[in-house]
Amino acid sequence: MSSPQTFYITANSPGEISGFLVPMVAAIRRRWAHVRVVVILLPCTFASGREEDVARSVPGVDEVVPVHRLMSLIVRGLPTPGTALLHLGGDLMYAGLLAWRWNLPTWAFQWAHRTWDRWIRGYFVKTEEDARRLCRMGINRNRIEVVGDLIVDAVQTSLKESTPRPTLAREDPLESSSRPSESGPHIAFLPGSRIEEVSGLGPFYLEAAEHIRHALPHARFSLLISPYLEWGQVRRGIQAEPHPSMGGIRGRLVQKEDAIWDLVSAAGTRLTLTRGSTLPVLATADFAVSIPGTKTGEAGCLGCPFLLVLPMNRMERIPWYGVLGLLDWLPMVGRMLKRLIMRTMVDRYIGRVYSQPNLLSDVPVVPELSGFLTPTLVAERVLAFFDHATSGRLPFPCIGRTDGTLGPYSYNGAQGSDRHRVASDLRALYATHGGAADRAVASVAASLSSVAGESSRDFAHESVK
């Protein structure tokens, strides 16, 4: 088989579309210029609501099947006869059903489940540790291939396509060093891709920035807004009154020039909003503060040191898998029940590893602060990275857990790494992960060709007989 006719890809959340889908489609196009690429969106509690629009805008995608057509697709049939299916995220059950129902050769990236294993031809993972994880689930090691991290490919592609090309603080995001500019450090805040995250974290980050500005008067601050969010929603949500459980200070949006807005506090602290393509701005940052997600992998690829924060102050607002995620859809009492249940589970999740670099590495590389957090506490951790004295409430460096005014929280300290050491560790961690998409596609191509060759030989043998 020289080229598949139609290549199906299943994906769902914003991170999988921007971090996995984009480089994979590009690699498929490099391998097979005339293949038809169809993206099937899966149900997802982490969805922003704009996945369909963004997926349609990905270069090389011919068709996007929205979530509401998924079951019809499984029952009635595919839009065009399929040759291969690649699962990039979401519940593997859906890819398994498609593979079983339509006899599609199927591969999965990072995910596995014994129930659907017989329908999956092979698995692609980031690291050897991921391969061992799948083996512990009962997956045959011969069907697992370590290819690297797709996010590295996505970051490199995005920076190449940026127009005009940004003037980077680091000449090569994967190789050069990170240091504050003479006018003061540039600190980027990443609030996530859901409007509830931006509405809650906008005021939270603004107060943290205000505390930082008192110690670093020349610091510049950016707030990176996901392309999955509509500007109208952002404008309304980001200026809302802070929730008492989250803290923060209310800001107002001020337009500096065309399409450039600042979120400004009463004291004059400014967060400059960046919408659309945020990677060029993140590439120029000296430090970042981010919640869990694909952005932590992107910062790692860029060699940008960052602090991961996971506020659990409003646990009922955190998207979740399974039954807890379904409670979000239950009117009136759903969120209340979710909060009560998650409160009983909090000890299991405070202190876990959440950033993608830490999940990728054998040892903690990036510091993480999780639990019931305050803007002051986050500011203290940031200032410690810039060698500024803090209140001493949580000595730096520190690895452990303690109780605060809102409840328990933990700080892993990343083994005492300072900002420059984190940058160096990130560059070393991601140096070998580029080209993951091309390796995965080459493996799929070899498998399809092998099957086609065996079929041809069988046909020839039968003809001779």
Say how far apart CA 33 and CA 30 lie, in whole Å: 6
Residue ranges covered by each domain of the chain:
6-148+435-464, 156-312+350-430
pLDDT tens by residue, 242-297? 988 888 999 999 988 777 899 999 999 999 999 878 899 999 999 999 999 899 99
What kind of fold does domain 156-312+350-430 have according to CATH? Rossmann fold (3.40.50)
Biggest CA-to-CA distance, the chain: 88
Sign of the dihedral defined by the CA atoms of residues 204, 208, 213, 216, in that order: negative
Domain 6-148+435-464 listed as CATH 3.40.50.2000: yes
Residue 179 confidence (pLDDT): 41
* Under-70 pLDDT residues of the chain: 1-4, 46-48, 162-182, 320-326, 328-329, 388-400, 415-417, 451-465
Sign of the dihedral defined by the CA atoms of residues 241, 246, 251, 253, in that order: negative
pLDDT tens by residue, 204-230? 999 999 999 999 999 999 999 988 888
Helix (H, G, I), strand (E, B) or coil at 190: strand
- Map tokens 């014994």 to a residue: 114
Residue 338 confidence (pLDDT): 75
Q: What is the pTM of this model?
A: 0.85
Question: Which segments of 322-418 are extended strands (E)?
Answer: 368-371, 400-403, 408-411
Sign of the dihedral defined by the CA atoms of residues 179, 183, 184, 189, in that order: negative
* Half-sphere CA count of 384, side-chain side, radius 13 A: 24
CB atoms within 10 A of CB 2: 8
Helix (H, G, I), strand (E, B) or coil at 406: coil
Same fold, 6-148+435-464 and 156-312+350-430: yes
